[in-house]
Amino acid sequence: MAEIINHPQLLTKARQEIDRVVGSDRLVQESDAPNLPYVQAIIKETFRLHPIIPMIARKSTRECHVNGYTIPAETLLFVNMWSIGRDPNHFWPDRFVRSEVDITGQHFQLLPFGSGRRSCPGMPLALRQLPTALAAMIQCFDWKVISGVDGGDAGLVSMDERPGLTVPRAHDLVCIPVARLPNII
Ligand code: HEM
């Protein structure tokens, strides 16, 4: 939400998609998700730049060799997903619109739910819920920024992060939802 509030042209593009697929007489629902590729691309781009869990941890059970490095047995390893997702570091969901990159753990450049047998068991639930929740917020409301409340510049919300297990925002996202579809809310 914060990224698309700061990039109104992306919000407009997602809203045009939702208005085209869903219309303005009913609320977006789970079954609409496969028909909302741009909303899905926003979610992927958010996972890339703002992974909820920034580091994936593993322990080597035996010595192994990767790219000329020797990793001894019993070594705690951290895969820094936050850092991998920072190049390039500008928010541009279109990069995922026709991309084959998937987020279920097969493509190692984007692992928001980890990978392998210890990957996130909540992934199917999250991937069902997220597109509908995000699309409903875009479909039903305009989002008005209150300048200066969260440390952001005029008209923008701050994107500062603070350290933590889940990369929390440094400032709460504070904005005013303005209803835009009186027929359904
Ligand atoms: C957007 C939502 C979510 C994201 C991005 C996320 C991400 C992750 C990541 C990166 C891991 C570590 C995976 C690994 O080490 O390979 C993980 C583990 C886990 N997640 Fe999630 N998660 C999400 C939602 C959920 C939900 C909704 C649930 C439960 C209903 C859940 C339950 C768990 C559990 C139990 C583990 C530990 C699995 C294990 O160690 O075997 N997660 N999650």
Q: Where are the domains of the chain?
A: 2-179
Residue 88 to residues 41, 45, 82, 83, Cα–Cα distance (Å): 16, 11, 12, 10
94-126 residue pLDDT tens: 999 999 999 999 999 999 999 999 999 999 999
How far, in Å, from the CA of 129 to the mean position of ligand 1?
14
Residue 120 in marked binding region: yes
Residues contacting residue 25 through CB under 8 Å, at least 6 positions apart: 183, 184
Instruction: Report the residue among 113, 119, 127 best suited for mutation to probe ligand 1: largest number of ligand atoms under 8 A from its CB.
Output: 113
Q: Which atom of ligand 1 is nearest to 51's Cα?
A: 5
64-66 and 55-59: which strand pairing? unpaired
* pLDDT for res 147: 73
Assign a CATH topology to domain 2-179: Cytochrome p450 (1.10.630)
Residue 155: pLDDT band (50, 70, 90) is confident
Across 61-180, the runs of DSSP E, i.e. the strands, are 64-66, 69-71, 76-80, 141-145, 175-179
Q: Which helix (H) or strand (E) covers residue 56, if one does?
A: strand 55-59
CB of 131 closer than 8 Å to CB of 40: yes
The b/e string for 64-73 (b: 16+ C-beta within 10 A; e otherwise) is eeeeeeeeee
* ipTM given for this complex: 0.98
Ligand 1 close to Cβ of residue 112 (< 6 A): yes
